[in-house]
Amino acid sequence: MLDSTRYAIIGADLRDIPELEEKLKKCNMNTQLPTLLIAECVLVYMTPEQSTNLLKWAAKSFETAMFINYEQVNMDDRFGQIMIENLRRRQCDLAGVETCKSLESQKERLLSSGWASASAIDMMELYSKLPRAEVSRIESLEFLDEMELLEQLMQHYCLCWATKGGSELG
């Protein structure tokens, strides 16, 4: 654990909410302050019940909060099934993959966990919304000869966000 007056880093098993809460309280976490929670390919490794418990705890615990999640999506199609099979061969099981069926299922998971609003976008759509100059800059960093494969991959990851309390979150 690293704890200072302005910053704290803790290690915790996100499936164990009481332990997580205890560690956060030791760091003087103030649930009254607007809080940003970020998860990157975390929830998919938890069972749906475990991730739901975490999402409900977060929605209930913070007065004003935003949750941002980067995770797999569209896992029911052939490309998604191949991704799952490849990970299984490496003994990497996606215990929560059933919640990653669609953008709609991603949003519904957040809303049913107590978040007031939720949105989701796949990474290909997000990429297409970037300013053209930025896309050119990104694409000049490394030659992409498999653009179709990149597009398929980006259609299988999404950015989801949910908010609760206060219009100051934008």
* Domains along the sequence of the chain with CATH: 1-30 (no CATH), 34-164 (3.40.50.150)
pLDDT at 166: 73
pLDDT tens by residue, 36-71? 999 999 999 999 999 999 999 999 999 999 999 999
CA distance linking residue 40 with residue 32, whole number of Å: 24
CA distance linking residue 87 with residue 117, whole number of Å: 32
pLDDT at 79: 94
Whole-model pTM? 0.89
CA distance linking residue 27 with residue 31, whole number of Å: 12
Burial of 124 from C-beta contacts in 10 A (0-12 / 13-18 / 19+): middle
Which residues of the chain are under the pLDDT cut of 70? 167-170
- Tell which phi-psi region holds residue 165, choosing left (phi > 0), alpha (psi between -120 and 50) or beta: left
pLDDT at 170: 56
